[in-house]
C-alpha cells in the first residue's frame, strides 16, 4: 500500500512540482524516518525546538519611528516579497511553519517566488523545510484572491452529494500545491448547531453532526489526494457559540457527555479517517475545564479555553479520541487570548496543555520580528525554569517532524522556481475549468424553500425586471451587472428592461417606487449576523425596506423573489416573499467579468442564483440546516419553519 509520503511525492511530480528536488538518493530513502528524526532532535537547541513549534506570518510591514517625537506617516505595505530584515530573521530562526494571508497573495508568479524565497532562505540558515499553510476553506474564507474561491461548506452540503465536497477540496489542494503550499487549515468540522453563531455559519457544512462528518471526511479525502496536509477545526467545536473568538471570549456550558453526542462526532470520525492536524478553539468549557485565570484586561476570573486545557487536549483529544497528529492553536493574537492572558502564561499554558504548534501573532511592522525573538527567549527561559515541561517540547517537535517526514518534506533540499512551474501555476490557479466546476456545484446547491408561481421568471421583451440589493450586500451588486451581461449575451433580455439597484440610507423611496413599477422584482439579501434580521438596527435597516416592497407589490397584485446570499436564516425573515431561493454564499465582485489574475476573487453562488431565476427552474438543493421561526423581536425560536434534509 502506497505510503502518504510516497503519494505526496508522486502527486508533486505529476503536477510538475514547483521546486526541483535533490538529495533524495537511494541511501537516504532507505534511512529510517525515525532514526532521521532522532538525529535531528538530538542536534537541536532548546531555542530551535521552540521555534519549530511556531507558525509565523509576515502580513504587512511598516517602519516604526525610532523616536516617539518623530511624526511618521509611513503606510503599511502588504508582504508579497521578503525584505532584508525578514531574510535575516528566517536565516537565524528555524520556525516550523509559515502561515500566509490574503496580504501575501498577489498573483501566481509572485506567490511561487515568495514561498520559494521563504523556504530557501530558511534552509540556507540551517532550518528544516517549512509547513506552508493558508486558510483556504473556500467560500467566505479563501485567502488566495486569484484562486478558485469555491462555494463554501454549507453550499457543498446543500447539494446532497458528498462527492462535491471531495471535488471542491481537490481543486483547493491542487491549486495550493501549484503555488508551493503544503498545508490547508481546513476543513471546518464545527457543527453549526447555534444559528446565532456570528463566526462559523456557512463555514460549517450543517447543524447535523453526521452530515458534517460525512462531508468533512470527503473534503479531507480531496485534500489528501493532492498531497495536502489537512487541519480539522475548531476543536472541540465552535458551532454552538454566540460570540466570535476573534473579538470576544466565547463560553459553552456543555458537558463532555453532551459534546460526545454532537460536536465531537465529526472530529472523531475524521480522526479515525486519518486527519493530520487539529486546530484548537479559544473557547471556555467550564463544565469540562474548571481551571481559571485572572483576565489582564478586566481583572475577572475567566476559565482556561480549550487551547490551554490539558483536560481537553490531552485527556480527551489524545487519550480518549486517539489523535496522534499535530495539535495547532488557533491564532494567539485573537482577542479571546490577547485580551485576557499574559504572553508568558499563554506560552506555558498552551504548551503544557498539549499544543504542538502555536500560531503566533503576525508580523505587522518593523517591531514584529523582535517580538518573535522575544517570544522564543521567553519560552526558553520558562522551560529552563521548569514552568514549561521540556518533555512536552520534545514530544511536540517529534510529532511535527513525523508529519513532515510523512509528507516527504524533510527530503526537500532545493526550492528553485522553474519557468515550467510558473507557467503551470499561472495556468492552473483559478482557471476557467476550476471555476466552471465550482459554478456547477453552486447551481446544484441552490435551494428553493418557497415558490408561489413566480420562479423562474418568464418575462417578455416589454416587461421590466428589477434586481435590488440590500445595503448589507451592496458590495455584491457587481454580480447583478455580470448576470445582466450574461442574459444579454444569451438573448434572454434587452438592455433597458433589466435594472440593478442598491438600497442605502438615502434612497428608500426611490427603491420602493422602482420596485412597484417593475413587472418582476428580485430582492437580494445578505444576513451575516442576527442584527441583519432586525429592521431597527443599522445592519438590518434594508429588511424594513424589503418588507414594504413585498407588501406594496402584493397590493398591486405583483410578486417578489427573495434571494438569500449568505446565512440561510433570513428565509424566516421574509416569509411573505413569494419565492425564496437560498445560495449560501456570495463575494465582493471586483471586476466584471471575473478573470484569473490580481484581485479577481469570485464566488459563484450568487451568480448561479440570479441566473436560475431565468432558466428552467429546476433547483435541486436541499437544506443542510434547520431554519427556525423568528419571534416578534426577530429572535430565533426553537420552532422549525423549514426542516433540514435528513
Quickly tell me which residue has 438615502 as its cell: 506
Give CA–CA dist 585/205, Å, rounded.
12
Phi/psi for 605 (5° steps) reads -60, -50
Backbone Cα Rg of the chain: 25
Q: Can you list the alpha helix ranges (DSSP code H) found in 180-286?
A: 209-224, 256-260, 264-272
Cell reading at 413:
533540499
- Asked if 596 contacts 431 with a C-beta cutoff of 8 angstroms, the reply is yes
Give CA–CA dist 304/396, Å, rounded.
21
How many other CB atoms are found less than 10 A from the CB of residue 406? 18
Q: What's the burial of 80, exposed, middle or buried (CB within 10 Å: 0-12/13-18/19+)?
A: middle
Phi/psi for 97 (5° steps) reads -155, 160
Catalytic residue among 87, 163, 246, 394: 246
Give CA–CA dist 383/385, Å, rounded.
5
Exposure b/e, 131-146, CB count within 10 A at least 16 = b: bbbbbbbbbbbbbbbb
Give CA–CA dist 438/133, Å, rounded.
22
Beta bridge partners of 448: 581
CA 138 to chain centre: 6
Q: What's the burial of 548, exposed, middle or buried (CB within 10 Å: 0-12/13-18/19+)?
A: middle
Please indicate whether residue 330 is annotated as part of the active site. yes
450 phi-psi bin (left φ>0, alpha ψ -120 to 50, beta other): beta
Give CA–CA dist 45/462, Å, rounded.
78
Give CA–CA dist 221/214, Å, rounded.
11
Catalytic residue among 135, 330, 539, 570: 330
Cell reading at 53:
513549534
Give CA–CA dist 211/217, Å, rounded.
10
Q: Give rounded-to-5 percent helix, strand, coil for the chain.
A: 40, 15, 45
**Helix H or strand E segment including 629:** strand 627-630
CA angle 319, 323, 327 (to 5 degrees): 105
CA distances from 193 to 39, 200, 208, 365, 577 (A): 47, 10, 7, 39, 26
Q: Residue 562: name the closest of 548, 546, 575, 580 by CA.
A: 580
CA distances from 313 to 9, 49, 187, 304, 526 (A): 31, 20, 19, 12, 37
Give CA–CA dist 415/90, Å, rounded.
15
**What residues act catalytically?**
246, 330
Amino acid at each position: 500500500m502506497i505510503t502518504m509520503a510516497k503519494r505526496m511525492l508522486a502527486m508533486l511530480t505529476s503536477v510538475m512540482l514547483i521546486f526541483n528536488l535533490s538529495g533524495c538518493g537511494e541511501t537516504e530513502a532507505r534511512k529510517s524516518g525515525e532514526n532521521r528524526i532522532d538525529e535531528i532532535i538530538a542536534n537541536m537547541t532548546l531555542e530551535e525546538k521552540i521555534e519549530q513549534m511556531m507558525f509565523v506570518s509576515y502580513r504587512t510591514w511598516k517602519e516604526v519611528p525610532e523616536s516617539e517625537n518623530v511624526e511618521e506617516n509611513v503606510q503599511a505595505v502588504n508582504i508579497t516579497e521578503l525584505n532584508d530584515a525578514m531574510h535575516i530573521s528566517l536565516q537565524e530562526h528555524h520556525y516550523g511553519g509559515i502561515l500566509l494571508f490574503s496580504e501575501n497573495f498577489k498573483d501566481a508568479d509572485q506567490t511561487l517566488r515568495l514561498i520559494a524565497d521563504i523556504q530557501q532562505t530558511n534552509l540556507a540558515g540551517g532550518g528544516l523545510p517549512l509547513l506552508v499553510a493558508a486558510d483556504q476553506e473556500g467560500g467566505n474564507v479563501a485567502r488566495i484572491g486569484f484562486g478558485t474561491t469555491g462555494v463554501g461548506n454549507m453550499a457543498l452540503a446543500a447539494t446532497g452529494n458528498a462527492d462535491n465536497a471531495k471535488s471542491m477540496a481537490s481543486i483547493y489542494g491542487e491549486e495550493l500545491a501549484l503555488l508551493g503550499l503544503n498545508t490547508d487549515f481546513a476543513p471546518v468540522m464545527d457543527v453549526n448547531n447555534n444559528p446565532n453563531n456570528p463566526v462559523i455559519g456557512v463555514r460549517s457544512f450543517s447543524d447535523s453532526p453526521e452530515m458534517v462528518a460525512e462531508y468533512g471526511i470527503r473534503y479531507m479525502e480531496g485534500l489528501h489526494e493532492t498531497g495536502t496536509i489537512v487541519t480539522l477545526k475548531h476543536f472541540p467545536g465552535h458551532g454552538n457559540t454566540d460570540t466570535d473568538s476573534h473579538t470576544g471570549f466565547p463560553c459553552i456550558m456543555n458537558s463532555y457527555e453532551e459534546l460526545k453526542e454532537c460536536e465531537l462526532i465529526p472530529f472523531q470520525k475524521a480522526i479515525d479517517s486519518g486527519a493530520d492536524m487539529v486546530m484548537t478553539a479559544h473557547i471556555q468549557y467550564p463544565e469540562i475545564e474548571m481551571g481559571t485565570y485572572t483576565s489582564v484586561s478586566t481583572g475577572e476570573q475567566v476559565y482556561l479555553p480549550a487551547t490551554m486545557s490539558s483536560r481537553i487536549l490531552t485527556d480527551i483529544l489524545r487519550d480518549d479520541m486517539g489523535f496522534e497528529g499535530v495539535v495547532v492553536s488557533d491564532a494567539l493574537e485573537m482577542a479571546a487570548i490577547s485580551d485576557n492572558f499574559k504572553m508568558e502564561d499563554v506560552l506555558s499554558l498552551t504548551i503544557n496543555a498539549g499544543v504542538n504548534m502555536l500560531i503566533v501573532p503576525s508580523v505587522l511592522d518593523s517591531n514584529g520580528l523582535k517580538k518573535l525573538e522575544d517570544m522564543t527567549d521567553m519560552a526558553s527561559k520558562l522551560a529552563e525554569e521548569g514552568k514549561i515541561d521540556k518533555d512536552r517540547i520534545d514530544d511536540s517537535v517529534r510529532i511535527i517532524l513525523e508529519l513532515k517526514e510523512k509528507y516527504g518534506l524533510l527530503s526537500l533540499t532545493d526550492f528553485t522556481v522553474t519557468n515550467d512551474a510558473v507557467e503551470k501555476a499561472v495556468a492552473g490557479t483559478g482557471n476557467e475549468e476550476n471555476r466552471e466546476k465550482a459554478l456547477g456545484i453552486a447551481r446544484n446547491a441552490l435551494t428553493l424553500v418557497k415558490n408561489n408561481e413566480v420562479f423562474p421568471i418568464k418575462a417578455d421583451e416589454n416587461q421590466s425586471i428589477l434586481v435590488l440589493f440590500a445595503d448589507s450586500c451592496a458590495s455584491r451588486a457587481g454580480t447583478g451587472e455580470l448576470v445582466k451581461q450574461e442574459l444579454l449575451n444569451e438573448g434572454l433580455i434587452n438592455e433597458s428592461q433589466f435594472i440593478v439597484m442598491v438600497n442605502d440610507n438615502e434612497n428608500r423611496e426611490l427603491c420602493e417606487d422602482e420596485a412597484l413599477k417593475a413587472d418582476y422584482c428580485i430582492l437580494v439579501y445578505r444576513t451575516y449576523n442576527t442584527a441583519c434580521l432586525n429592521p431597527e438596527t443599522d445592519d438590518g435597516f434594508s429588511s424594513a425596506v424589503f418588507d414594504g416592497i413585498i407588501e406594496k407589490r402584493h397590493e398591486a397584485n405583483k410578486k417578489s423573489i427573495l434571494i438569500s446570499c449568505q446565512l440561510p436564516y433570513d428565509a424566516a425573515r421574509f416569509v411573505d416573499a413569494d419565492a425564496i431561493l437560498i445560495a449560501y454564499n456570495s463575494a465582493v465582485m471586483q471586476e466584471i467579468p471575473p478573470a484569473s489574475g490580481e484581485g479577481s476573487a469570485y464566488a459563484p453562488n450568487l451568480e448561479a442564483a440570479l441566473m436560475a431565476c431565468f432558466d428552467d427552474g429546476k433547483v435541486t438543493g436541499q437544506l443542510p440546516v434547520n431554519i427556525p421561526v423568528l419571534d416578534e423581536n426577530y429572535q430565533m425560536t426553537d420552532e422549525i419553519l423549514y426542516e433540514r434534509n435528513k
